[in-house]
Amino acid sequence: MTRRKKLALSICALILIVSFPLVGAEVSDIVGFWKSVNSRRNFATSIIGIYEYEGMLYGRPVVGFDEKTGALIDTINTPSQRIERLPGRPLLMHTDIVWGLYRSGDKWVGGKILDPRYGHVFDCEAWVQEETLILRGKLGPFGLNTVFYRATEEDLPKGFTWPSLETFIPNSR
């Protein structure tokens, strides 16, 4: 083997080795806990856990706050709120409201998102942009973006600890 071929193979191997961690880093950028915020009053209204399961992306609420006052309403540890508009009235904190997204370039696409207030399901895509999570619910060519910010310990109710996203398994509807 010539010196030039060895150099080319070495460069190709180096590129492959370096690129694998980058792919993993992109996935981990979206996986984690994110909060929605009442922008007028500047308090969290919910915290969702975004997790990956068998190469697909899912999201489940883990903490819910009153949208008008910011008072704690519900947590995944002691769930009480139900999704009234779905058959069987499942517990909100035990229901994936985002599911089935798969990776396509810089976005996660092809999934669904549930509006738990009305029980409507929309097409969904998601991506991270400037340290925010964008979930886009779509109906045909129209869509609405919801912005989430990375949740921190300060956003959690007193005594609440992060659940382990690795233990989350998608639930069926």
State pLDDT tens for residues 118-172: 999 999 999 999 999 999 999 998 999 999 999 999 999 999 999 999 999 998 6
In the prediction, which pLDDT does 28 show? 67
| Strand ranges inside 105-167, DSSP E | 107-115, 120-129, 132-139, 142-150
Instruction: Give pLDDT, residue 39.
Output: 83
Instruction: Name the pTM for this structure.
Output: 0.82
Q: How far is CA 32 from the centre of its chain?
A: 7
Q: Of 98, 94, 96, which is closest to residue 124 (Cα–Cα)?
A: 98
Q: What gap in Å lies between CA 93 and CA 97, rounded to an integer? A: 9
Nearest residue to 100 (alpha-carbon basis) of 115, 114, 79, 86: 114
